[in-house]
Structure 1
Amino acid sequence: MKNPDEELLEDWHTNPKYWKLGGLFYYNREDERLLIDKPNPNYGSTLNFAHRKSYIIIVVCISFFGFVVYMITSKN
């Protein structure tokens, strides 16, 4: 959905059916945004796990930190 109105965005943000594991994960196929503010703004943002790019971001981050750990622990 392109350019949802403020009322729909607020409904998506406050509706508990889109928040999994107590607000830790956000999953809404209708929402095209990749980054979503958490219900409590002090906790930052989360990824929309219904968005395909979120899984690419997770794989890249895990690969990067895995590479860093490998480089630190490998012996020359």
Structure 2
Amino acid sequence: MKNNLEKEIFDPDNYKLNIFYYNPKDKRVVVPKQDRFRGWTLNFGNFYTYLLILACVLLGVVLSFF
């Protein structure tokens, strides 16, 4: 299964606007970028990615009041 997911990362059909990784079949929230030396990216095909973004925004708003 790992090899199959690794192949998905390099599939250009899984990228929107060539920068946003979107693959609902991939259950990972954070995935390596196509060029592994450039770091990691979020999988926008996973619902939990949006929860993570919302949590970060809410944390920033809450911390701005202190």
After TM superposition, the score normalised by the length of structure 1 is: 0.72
CA distance in 2: counterparts of 1:44 and 1:31, whole angstroms = 18
Query: Which amino acid is the alignment partner of residue 18 of structure 1?
Result: N
Query: Which amino acid is the alignment partner of residue 38 of structure 2?
Result: Y
Let me know the Cα RMSD of the aligned residues.
Answer: 1.6
CA distance in 2: counterparts of 1:59 and 1:68, whole angstroms = 14
Residue 25 of structure 2 corresponds to residue 30 of structure 1: yes
Larger Rg: 1
After TM superposition, the score normalised by the length of structure 2 is: 0.81
User: Which consecutive unaligned segments of at least 5 residues does structure 1 have?
Assistant: none
CA distance in 2: counterparts of 1:20 and 1:40, whole angstroms = 16
Runs of 4+ off more than 4 Å: none
User: Which consecutive unaligned segments of at least 5 residues does structure 2 have?
Assistant: none
